Amino acid sequence: MTPKTPLASLSRDRRAELERLLQSKGLRSAGEASIPRRPQGQPCRASFGQERLWFLQQLDPTSAAYHIACPIRLEGKLDRAALQAAFTEMVRRHEALRTRFSLVDGALLQEPCPPAVVAMPVERLRCEPGEEREAALRRRILDEIRAPFDLASGVLLRVRLIELEEEDQVAVATMHHVAADGWSMAVMVREVARLYEAFQQGQASPLPDLPLQYGDFAEWQRETLSGETLERELSHWTQRLGGAAELELPSDRPRPAVQRNIGARCTLDLAPELAAGLRRLGAERGVTPFMTFLAGFAVLLSRYCGQSDIVIGAPVANRNRSELEDLIGFFVNTLAIRLDLSGDPSFSDLLAHVKERALEALGRQDAPFERIVEAIQPQRDRGRHPIFQTMLLVQNAPRAVLELPGLRLTPLEIDDGAAKFDLTLSLVESDGRLRCGLTYDVDLFDHATAERMLGHWATLMESAVREPERPIGLLPLLSDAERRAISSWSGETRERDESLSLTSRFARQAELRPGALALACGDERLSYGELREASLRLARRLRAEGVGPESTVGLFLPRDAAAVVAMLATLEAGGAYVPLDPAHPAERIGFLVSDARTALVLTTRPLLDKLPETAARVVLLEEVEAQALGEQFEQPRVGPDPDNLAYMIYTSGSTGAPKGVAISHRSACAMIDWALETFSREDFAATLAATSFTFDLSIFEIFAPLSMGGAVVLAENALALAGPPLDPPVTLVNTVPSALAHLLRTTALP
């Protein structure tokens, strides 16, 4: 924006960005009226956010998912009377902490209760110092945090003192979210500290009167967000979020019918160098740290679930007026940010897209999320959060300085065991470091899975800092330790892992080296990433056609790259493929389809006339590929079982009817293990695949190199070596003796 740029020419989002900048400097937009005060102590409507929290509490009155707590260890001589008086005065000042809720004529009302002395029971934890006492302390704190609130009682703050020693105590302050948010916690700590210091010295409260109460904000919100104003905001959000797909993350267990909101947490500290690199990357691209983290989280989710339409939730403080900064109350609103990751953009390009969408959302942050959900009316599902199932939380609320005279204060990090979403990625920056936490729903994920996800996010961010112009689908996720483990699975050690399927071995290589050449056929080249994506897209269509475990798919296809894609797709869909050679007699083809109980035959339009009539349904590869191109490919939640059928190959039938040999993934992997132990990675750099797909040697030629990270060089037959040089140059040939003899005579062997 130049000095002469007229404000009227700015976009709505740019004006919102400028307005937020002015507000951060303590300036208010011209014409912005103050929030009016209502008569003191009078009941009023609950805010939009309070309504939703009250409704959720009615569904499960015992849930602690919306409790927030601040346990602090106090070492030194504590004046308990001064501390209790400080909490009492704070509650007197803030009506939100002494408000009761009631439903009157279908409307939820909040009514402040008269000020009263805050109870502060003291209990002694009678354990010897050591690990046992610390464990008992954590259990007792959790019990206190999880104790339910009665929203009709008017008591929305609890304080308990747990005494370990005479000068070693823990104060646990717990509030219900309906009365407070994360910002409020800092306000509480700051006020209690100042009040404690004053009361300990026999002085009066040093705090100025509050300009407003939370009820004033709730009334003002109801008045300003109504009628055409609200309808205009909701219209925008319904257009932006309507039709968004639900995130289908691969989980360790099926999703329960009713979400229990029980969670756990894993943490990871990013190195100062990486934290600095992320700040530098954001500054170079003109984005905030939040936008950088959001882009990385979106890429992680997309890579895990194979979707490009990603919606992530993010809380916003919603205190963009100076008179709200010192209030305790539930002001926070939730933004649903929808991102489009299609087309495999570079991380740098994705940052630009994320910035645009994030600024747009921030410019519309006044619309209550609760009303957006009502407007969109998503399908009711008590097993998942509406609109989005993951959240990003970046600590930007003011952090209270923990200081009390004569005391050493230590905030205690306690995992409260609650999870409002499938996954919540939280980030706090302190002293140049980034503390990352991933809260996960224990009904869906194991702790090891969550730790792995968090590690993958960190590796992804490191990759993005190093190569921001690289396509997001090619940014590595795996740590060095995981790469070494995969290398061992790929045959660099003598250990076998028969639990893996043919497809999972290929998938690991695609994850490890997505840009490496996987398949060459004439002028066509497919990288591991491209081959993986093509097979997953086709697998989705095959599953839609009914392909699953133990079902067979006839492949009546030409010898080209599409045939290899079809093999992998059939296996990814859970089925087994039956190779059908178009050069074979129609009678044999018909017998194989019938004998293998094949319900579906995949072929191409040019070969359709050669395919005999059978009971199997015929599906044209061109049509399913066209349909697949318009869809998002999906990472399979669970791969084939080792004992599932992988393929069926038939004998020639020279002595009678052809006999089918059914091979499981376990058996095929045993052969691949032998190959990986017998040949080196260099041997598999470019393997000639010249054997008919109807012979089992083709399994070696295709799946052994794809399990090692090598390239498959597809040719009509081994004699192709005697012709023009193949690209890439072949490093391994495994063929019949007659072909070898001819190649030796022509000196065509590599």
Residue 681, CA atoms < 13 Å, CB-side half-sphere: 10
Q: Identify the CA nearest to 91 among candidates 33, 173, 182, 206.
A: 173
Q: Give the three-state DSSP class for 288.
A: coil
Query: What band does 508 get if pLDDT is binned at 50, 70 and 90?
Result: confident
Cβ–Cβ contacts within 10 Å for residue 55, how many? 11
**Edge-to-edge strand list for the sheet holding 645-650:** 617-620, 600-603, 552-556, 576-580, 645-650, 660-664
Q: Across residues 697-713, what is the average pLDDT?
A: 92
Instruction: Kindly tell me if the per-residue pLDDT of 143 is higher than 90.
Output: yes
Query: What band does 382 get if pLDDT is binned at 50, 70 and 90?
Result: confident
Angle between helices 502-512 and 528-544 (to 10 degrees): 140
Instruction: Kindly tell me if the per-residue pLDDT of 30 is higher than 50.
Output: no
Residue-level pLDDT at 483: 64
In this prediction, what percent of the chain has a pLDDT beyond 90?
Answer: 56
Instruction: Kindly tell me if the per-residue pLDDT of 736 is higher than 80.
Output: no
Name the pairing type of β-strands 686-689 and 711-714: parallel
Residue ranges of alpha helices (H) inside 426-527 are: 447-466, 480-487, 502-512
Least confident of 137-146, 448-457, 495-504, 684-693: 495-504
99-104 long-range contacts, Cβ below 8 Å, gap at least 24? Answer: 99/154, 99/156, 99/179, 99/214, 99/215, 100/151, 100/152, 100/153, 100/154, 101/46, 101/50, 101/54, 101/151, 101/152, 101/178, 102/152
Nearest-angstrom CA–CA distance, 682 and 746: 24
Q: Identify the CA nearest to 514 among candidates 502, 526, 500.
A: 526
| Enclosing H/E stretch for 234 | helix 227-241
Nearest-angstrom CA–CA distance, 624 and 424: 37
Q: Which residue has tokens 């923990």?
A: 402
Cβ within 8 Å of residue 512, ≥6 positions away: 478, 483, 486, 709
Residue-level pLDDT at 44: 95
Q: Identify the CA nearest to 477 among candidates 432, 524, 529, 517.
A: 529
- Over the stretch 212-228, which tens digit does the pLDDT of each residue have? 999 999 999 999 988 89
Q: 131-145, 204-218, 389-403, 632-646: which has the highest mean pLDDT?
A: 204-218
Least confident of 3-17, 281-295, 317-331, 583-597: 3-17
Q: Identify the CA nearest to 650 among candidates 720, 587, 712, 713.
A: 587
Q: Across residues 388-404, what is the average pLDDT?
A: 77
Asked if omega into 728 is within 30° of 0 (cis), the reply is: yes
Q: Which residue has tokens 């219209």?
A: 235
Instruction: Kindly tell me if the per-residue pLDDT of 718 is higher than 60.
Output: no
- Mean pLDDT score of the chain: 86
Instruction: Kindly tell me if the per-residue pLDDT of 498 is higher than 80.
Output: no
Instruction: Kindly tell me if the per-residue pLDDT of 378 is higher than 90.
Output: no
Q: Which CATH code fits 44-216?
A: 3.30.559.10
B/e letters for 453-491, b = 16+ CB within 10 Å, e = fewer, are bbbbbbbbbbbbbeebebbbbbbbbbeeebeeebbebbb
Residue-level pLDDT at 285: 94
- The rounded Cα 314 to chain-centroid distance in angstroms is 13
Instruction: Kindly tell me if the per-residue pLDDT of 489 is higher than 60.
Output: no
Instruction: Kindly tell me if the per-residue pLDDT of 13 is higher than 80.
Output: no
Residue ranges of alpha helices (H) inside 98-213 are: 131-146, 182-200
Cβ within 8 Å of residue 693, ≥6 positions away: 555, 559, 563, 567, 579, 581
Q: In the chain, what's the furthest Cα-to-Cα distance?
A: 107
Q: Which residue has tokens 């991380």?
A: 347
Instruction: Kindly tell me if the per-residue pLDDT of 653 is higher than 70.
Output: no
Query: What band does 497 get if pLDDT is binned at 50, 70 and 90?
Result: very low
CA distances from 363 to 237, 290, 367 (A): 12, 15, 10
Residue-level pLDDT at 126: 78
Residue-level pLDDT at 728: 79
Cβ–Cβ contacts within 10 Å for residue 65, how many? 20
Residue-level pLDDT at 11: 47
Query: What band does 492 get if pLDDT is binned at 50, 70 and 90?
Result: very low
Nearest-angstrom CA–CA distance, 454 and 451: 5
Instruction: Kindly tell me if the per-residue pLDDT of 494 is higher than 50.
Output: no
Residue-level pLDDT at 643: 79
Q: Residue 128 phi/psi, 5° resolution?
A: -70, 145
User: Which residues does residue 174 pair with via DSSP β-bridges, in sequence order?
Assistant: 69, 158
Least confident of 103-107, 420-424, 474-478: 474-478
Using an 8 Å Cβ cutoff, are 607 and 619 in contact? no
Query: What band does 724 get if pLDDT is binned at 50, 70 and 90?
Result: low
Residue ranges of alpha helices (H) inside 548-613 are: 561-572, 586-595
Q: Identify the CA nearest to 12 among candidates 289, 376, 365, 392.
A: 365
Residue-level pLDDT at 77: 95
Instruction: Provide the sign of the torsion angle of the four alpha carbons 509, 510, 512, 515, taken in this order.
Output: positive
Residue ranges of alpha helices (H) inside 2-47 are: 12-24
User: Do the first three CATH levels of 44-216 and 492-745 match, i.e. the same topology?
Assistant: no
Instruction: Kindly tell me if the per-residue pLDDT of 722 is higher than 90.
Output: no
Task: List, in sequence order, every beta strand (DSSP E) within 195-279.
Answer: 263-270
Q: Residue 28 phi/psi, 5° resolution?
A: -120, 145
| Terminal CA-CA length for the chain | 63
Is 641 or 117 the better-scoring residue by pLDDT?
117
Domain ranges of the chain: 44-216, 225-480, 492-745
Nearest-angstrom CA–CA distance, 348 and 279: 14
Cβ–Cβ contacts within 10 Å for residue 437, how many? 18
- Over the stretch 48-101, which tens digit does the pLDDT of each residue have? 999 999 999 998 898 888 999 999 999 999 999 999 999 999 999 999 999 999
Nearest 5°: the CA angle 156, 63, 298 is 105
Residue-level pLDDT at 299: 96
Nearest-angstrom CA–CA distance, 437 and 395: 11
Using an 8 Å Cβ cutoff, are 267 and 430 in contact? no
In this prediction, what percent of the chain has a pLDDT beyond 70?
Answer: 87
Q: Which CATH code fits 225-480?
A: 3.30.559.30
Cβ–Cβ contacts within 10 Å for residue 375, how many? 17
Residue 746 is which amino acid? T
Instruction: Kindly tell me if the per-residue pLDDT of 350 is higher than 90.
Output: yes
User: Which residues does residue 429 pair with via DSSP β-bridges, in sequence order?
Assistant: 434
Residue-level pLDDT at 6: 42
Q: Across residues 451-456, what is the average pLDDT?
A: 94
Residue-level pLDDT at 79: 96
Using an 8 Å Cβ cutoff, are 286 and 279 in contact? no
DSSP code string of 636-669: -SS---TTSEEEEEE---TTSS--EEEEEHHHHH
Nearest-angstrom CA–CA distance, 505 and 488: 11
Structure tokens at 409: 């204060």
Task: List, in sequence order, every beta strand (DSSP E) within 373-449.
Answer: 390-394, 407-411, 423-430, 433-441
Query: What band does 25 get if pLDDT is binned at 50, 70 and 90?
Result: very low
Residue-level pLDDT at 7: 40
Least confident of 55-59, 378-382, 391-395, 537-541: 378-382
Least confident of 17-31, 37-51, 349-363: 17-31
3-state DSSP: the chain helix, strand, coil percent, rounded to 5? 40, 20, 40
Q: pTM for the whole thing?
A: 0.63
Q: Which residue has tokens 């924006």?
A: 1
Radius of gyration of the chain (CA): 32
Correct CATH for 492-745 of 3.30.10.20, 1.10.540.10, 3.40.50.720, 3.40.50.12780: 3.40.50.12780
Residue 663 is which amino acid? I
Q: Which residue has tokens 């300009």?
A: 211
Instruction: Provide the sign of the torsion angle of the four alpha carbons 106, 111, 113, 118, taken in this order.
Output: positive
- Over the stretch 534-582, which tens digit does the pLDDT of each residue have? 999 899 888 888 898 889 999 999 999 999 999 999 999 999 999 999 9
Residue-level pLDDT at 305: 85
Q: Across residues 149-177, what is the average pLDDT?
A: 96
